[in-house]
Chain A
Amino acid sequence: MSAASASAPAAGRASAAAPPAAAAVNLTSVFLRLKLSLIRNGLKGSSKRKAAYFTSLALSLAVACLAMVGLAVLHGNAHAGTVVVLLAAILALGWTFMPLFFPSGDETLDPSRLVMLPLRPRPLVRALLASSLVGIGPLFTVCLAVGSVVAVARGAAGIVAAVVAAPLLVLGCVTLARSVATANVRLLTSRKGRDLALLSGLLIAIGAQVANFASQRLFESGGLARLEPAEAVVRWLPPATAVGMVDSASKGSYGTAAGQLAVTVLALVLLLRFWERSLTALMVTPDGSTIAAAKPSGKRESEGGAGAWAFLPAGRTGAVMQRALRYVVRDPKTKSAWVTALAVGAIVPVFNALQGTGSMYLACFGAGMLGMQMYNQFGQDTSAFWMVAQTISTPREAFEELRARAYALALVTVPYTVVLTAVTAALLEDWAALPAGLGVGLALLGSMLCTGALASARFPYSIPTDGAFKNVAPGQGGLAWAGIFGGMLVSALICSPVIALTVFLNVTDQQSLTWIVLPLGAAWGTFAAWAGLRLAAPTVARTLPEILLAVSKG
């Protein structure tokens, strides 16, 4: 990165006298070979990585072929145009945001590595574009593009349009990804960018839930015809215009097709220009990180515990709660886990209620998801746990530490559960079930806090700070699963009296008495949490060095 500052003179020299060697070598073929050897070398040595690579290759090929065939089968369907145009738009959207959340570590595409080399922008863009067409992702896209154009191409004009459209779509997608990545490369190589990448797990978790419910809804309510208004707009948005062009040409609207082709090509050219310009700017201007470092920071809250923090208790309890809550906002892994829990916890009861398949008790799902955050508390500290360990010398202090962490969790979870239960009740129009639902939720939360504290003390494991999907350090997987699954089973067991009471009241038709579940559940949850913390505290105080060792791995 410091190389960036040195690049200006290098670029200057390059333009003053073009090096003869560079002109002789075909840059595109150099980059293609570089890309291939990087893929090859990446697979060397580790059989695990090799297996993972070939599995994902086979899997995506299989999916891509299936999708291609599936799309081709749509040929002749009235809605085929709608489907493929929207699919192309989704594909392009995926390509645009993918580099931000999944920096694939493709070294040929990282311009900061090329900064010391005397390369001219235009051949460089050509070479980079060619090398970014190599890989599983582009292959997958090619299959989908081919399937899409086959689905809508009819007649000679349609076939000609299809032959032009498929490569244009693929090029459009890849160029979109590269130009977005290049424009944001400063962000992506900074700490903030790495933080952003860690949030990708969250996107997948929430996206999957939303997609699941959306597709259910789509197929239930009148099908694809509902999508036509969206398609009418999207077929004019490049690079989906390429597919739209095939559809138009097949239908005989040659004017529209020509317009769409023009938009597609124009957008591609503009995008390439934009990419070239940001690439040039990137390679001849100093690294943004040094500028940022030199700037003194002069913001943030006043000194001491100001604002809403002043409401927290003094001493260790307040300090630990404050730290825990700050980490929810600032630490990408913690944030990702929390937002996933909050979102999925809400999506499940609310969407089910909207679809009429809901139940009051699904609202407990959120409490359970958030309760999971109590597990492996010290692993979430990473090796910074030594700072905590240095200040704990008695079981009492360990209890206070754990209790403060449980408070921080409850501070968010209890109001969240109340609101979520109320929303579910409102959607179901079943206010009578609200107290029981809330009571079970609170009992579940208490039991999760109980088992979470115990698991944190007995089964600590380290959470790698890199990689959105690595939540357990190598070799500690068994430990993690034992803690979490054992804990969840025991949690269910602990709150079973409250569940049993609820079932009993409902089965025996004593609905007028179900309100009693609320105070009982709350009391039971509180007691369970307290007992769990009490039991876990002596273990924590006794095994501080062992916990530190366990959470410092990886």
Chain B
Amino acid sequence: MPDQAVATGGADGPDGARSAPSAGPAAVRVEGLWKRFGDQVAVAGIDLELPAGQFIGLVGPNGAGKTTTLSMVTGLLRPDMGRVLVAGHDVWSDPVEVKSRIGVLPEGLRLFERLSGRELLGYMGRLRGLPGEETDKRATQLLDVLDLAGSQHKLVVDYSTGMRKKIGLAAALLHNPEVLFLDEPFEGVDPVSAQTIRGVLERYTSSGATVVFSSHVMELVESLCDWVAVMAAGRIRAAGPLADVRGGAPSLQAAFLELVGAGGRDAGDSLDWLGGQAAR
């Protein structure tokens, strides 16, 4: 894919990343992160070092702990144990340094939906401490680029899923963060909006910023990411440059199924009655 070539070309390439992961400072460093909900362990001791300036995919099946991990990394959920550093600053002891450096698009949390798209951006920008004029200028540009200019005065509550993701992305980008965390940014998004989001994110990473996003769509991750971490049952199964994680497997999908131990499962003969040519 041509855009993948551009994206990886912009970073230091898979080989460089593999030989020296600590060439640049890590954008995010996670140490011994744990989270338990009642009896269920959602995240069971994660150590990760995410390189700066890359497009990073966090992949895993449903319930793997991706959302919990991202929530803890972005300061929205308090971990039971462990430490998270963003650009060298501790998320929990030094929120002033961290919160201005990150942008977040969580999954499953609402927005201020009784504001219009434009009002939401104006509100977020001012909360972030941007001057009013600058906020409005950036909002106009983001709304244009994300194809939301036509519905900027509609209330967010009346937006479609794709439009919500896009306005959420705009709100996360407004203060020009160093690291962007996106939880399932392409979930439920139509191909046109997905391409728009993709274009914005590629432009953003090519300037040296870091994007961390979670997904369970392997083709998407494979075509977008330079670096992936595979999660299952609250643990990291593999992490590194895309080519390394894929290894000898024909695709990331195959490698992923292998890693999470779901390879070789087949419908088999149990549904032999199903199909157009069946006798009855």
Q: Give bound CA distance, A545 to B226, whole Å.
A: 31
Residues A316 and B126 in contact in the complex (CB < 8 Å), given A303-B140, A304-B136: yes
Does B99 contact A390, Cβ atoms closer than 8 Å?
yes
Residue B244 at the chain A interface, CB threshold 8 Å: no
Q: Which of B25-33, B45-53, B102-110, B235-243 contacts A (4 or more CB under 8 A)?
A: B102-110
Nearest chain A CB to B130's CB is how many angstroms away? 9
Residues A391 and B153 in contact in the complex (CB < 8 Å), given A386-B76, A386-B106, A546-B78: no
Residue B128 at the chain A interface, CB threshold 8 Å: yes
What string of 1s and 0s marks CB contacts (under 8 Å) between B112-125 and chain A? 11111011001110
Of A304, A331, A386, which one neighbours B114 at CB under 8 angstroms?
Answer: A331
Residues A315 and B126 in contact in the complex (CB < 8 Å), given A303-B136, A393-B95: yes
Residues A386 and B109 in contact in the complex (CB < 8 Å), given A191-B158, A297-B154: yes
Interface size of B as a range: 35 or more
User: Total interface residues on A, using CB and 8 Å?
Assistant: 41
Residue of A nearest to B102 (CB): A390
Q: Which of A322-330, A419-427, A442-450 contacts B (4 or more CB under 8 A)?
A: A322-330
Residue B171 at the chain A interface, CB threshold 8 Å: yes
Residue of B nearest to A548 (CB): B76
Nearest chain B CB to A176's CB is how many angstroms away? 31
Q: Give bound CA distance, A194 to B272, whole Å.
A: 46
Q: Give bound CA distance, A305 to B114, whole Å.
A: 17
Residue of A nearest to B150 (CB): A296
Of A315, A322, A545, which one neighbours B129 at CB under 8 angstroms?
Answer: A315
Does A387 contact B112, Cβ atoms closer than 8 Å?
yes
Determine the chain A residues whose CB is within 8 A of the CB of B127 once the complex forms.
316, 319-320, 387-388, 391
Does A319 contact B126, Cβ atoms closer than 8 Å?
yes
Nearest chain B CB to A554's CB is how many angstroms away? 12
Residue B77 at the chain A interface, CB threshold 8 Å: yes
Instruction: Give the residues from 377 to 414 in chain A that come closer than 8 angstroms, CB to CB, to chain B.
Output: 381-384, 386-394
Nearest chain A CB to B76's CB is how many angstroms away? 6
Residues A304 and B113 in contact in the complex (CB < 8 Å), given A316-B127, A544-B75, A548-B76: no
Nearest chain B CB to A261's CB is how many angstroms away? 48
Q: Give bound CA distance, A191 to B114, whole Å.
A: 11
Q: Give bound CA distance, A389 to B98, whole Å.
A: 13
Does A387 contact B129, Cβ atoms closer than 8 Å?
no
Residue B96 at the chain A interface, CB threshold 8 Å: yes
Does B126 contact A545, Cβ atoms closer than 8 Å?
no
Residue A318 at the chain B interface, CB threshold 8 Å: yes
Most B-side CB within 10 Å, residue of A327, A386, A389, A392: A386
Instruction: Give the residues from 281 to 312 in chain A that come closer than 8 angstroms, CB to CB, to chain B.
Output: 293, 296-300, 303-305
Instruction: Give the residues from 143 to 166 in chain A that come closer than 8 angstroms, CB to CB, to chain B.
Output: none
Determine the chain A residues whose CB is within 8 A of the CB of B160 once the complex forms.
293
Residue A262 at the chain B interface, CB threshold 8 Å: no
Residue of A nearest to B157 (CB): A191
Residue B151 at the chain A interface, CB threshold 8 Å: yes
Q: Give bound CA distance, A552 to B75, whole Å.
A: 15
Q: Give bound CA distance, A545 to B115, whole Å.
A: 24
Residue of B nearest to A543 (CB): B78
Majority-rule SS of A interface residues: helix
Residue A314 at the chain B interface, CB threshold 8 Å: yes
Determine the chain B residues whose CB is within 8 A of the CB of A389 once the complex forms.
75-76
Q: Give bound CA distance, A305 to B133, whole Å.
A: 9
Does A323 contact B123, Cβ atoms closer than 8 Å?
yes
Residue B218 at the chain A interface, CB threshold 8 Å: no
Residue of B nearest to A391 (CB): B127
Residue B146 at the chain A interface, CB threshold 8 Å: no
Residue B201 at the chain A interface, CB threshold 8 Å: no
Of A303, A330, A382, A545, which one neighbours B155 at CB under 8 angstroms?
Answer: A330
Does A390 contact B104, Cβ atoms closer than 8 Å?
yes
Q: Give bound CA distance, A300 to B151, whole Å.
A: 11
Residue A196 at the chain B interface, CB threshold 8 Å: no
Nearest chain A CB to B154's CB is how many angstroms away? 5
Residues A384 and B126 in contact in the complex (CB < 8 Å), given A296-B151, A304-B136, A391-B99: no
Most A-side CB within 10 Å, residue of B112, B116, B122: B112
Does A305 contact B132, Cβ atoms closer than 8 Å?
yes
Residue B111 at the chain A interface, CB threshold 8 Å: yes
Q: Give bound CA distance, A3 to B5, whole Å.
A: 44
Residue of B nearest to A331 (CB): B114
Nearest chain A CB to B138's CB is how many angstroms away? 12
Of B77, B104, B122, B123, which one neighbours A304 at CB under 8 angstroms?
Answer: B122
Determine the chain A residues whose CB is within 8 A of the CB of B157 once the complex forms.
191
Nearest chain A CB to B193's CB is how many angstroms away? 15
Does B123 contact A319, Cβ atoms closer than 8 Å?
yes
Residue A549 at the chain B interface, CB threshold 8 Å: yes
Does A382 contact B110, Cβ atoms closer than 8 Å?
yes
Determine the chain B residues whose CB is within 8 A of the CB of A392 once the complex forms.
99
Nearest chain B CB to A186's CB is how many angstroms away? 15
Determine the chain B residues whose CB is within 8 A of the CB of A293 once the complex forms.
158, 160
Of B99, B108, B153, which one neighbours A297 at CB under 8 angstroms?
Answer: B153
Does B110 contact A322, Cβ atoms closer than 8 Å?
no
Q: Can you list 28 A-B contacts with CB-CB less than 8 angstroms, sorted by A residue number?
A: A191-B158, A296-B150, A298-B153, A299-B153, A300-B153, A303-B140, A304-B122, A304-B136, A315-B129, A316-B126, A319-B127, A326-B114, A327-B112, A384-B109, A384-B113, A386-B106, A387-B112, A387-B124, A389-B76, A390-B74, A390-B75, A391-B128, A391-B129, A392-B99, A393-B95, A545-B77, A546-B78, A548-B76
**B interface with A by C-beta (< 8 Å):** 74-78, 95-96, 98-100, 104, 106, 108-116, 118-119, 122-124, 126-129, 131-133, 136, 140, 150-151, 153-155, 157-158, 160, 171
Other than A316-B129, A393-B99, A548-B77, give 7 A-B pairs with Cβ distance below 8 A: A293-B160, A297-B150, A323-B115, A384-B109, A391-B127, A393-B95, A393-B98
**A interface with B by C-beta (< 8 Å):** 191, 293, 296-300, 303-305, 314-316, 318-320, 322-323, 326-327, 330-331, 381-384, 386-394, 544-546, 548-549, 552
Considering the complex of A and B, which 3 residue pairs feature the smallest CB-CB distances, nearest first? A319-B126, A393-B95, A300-B153
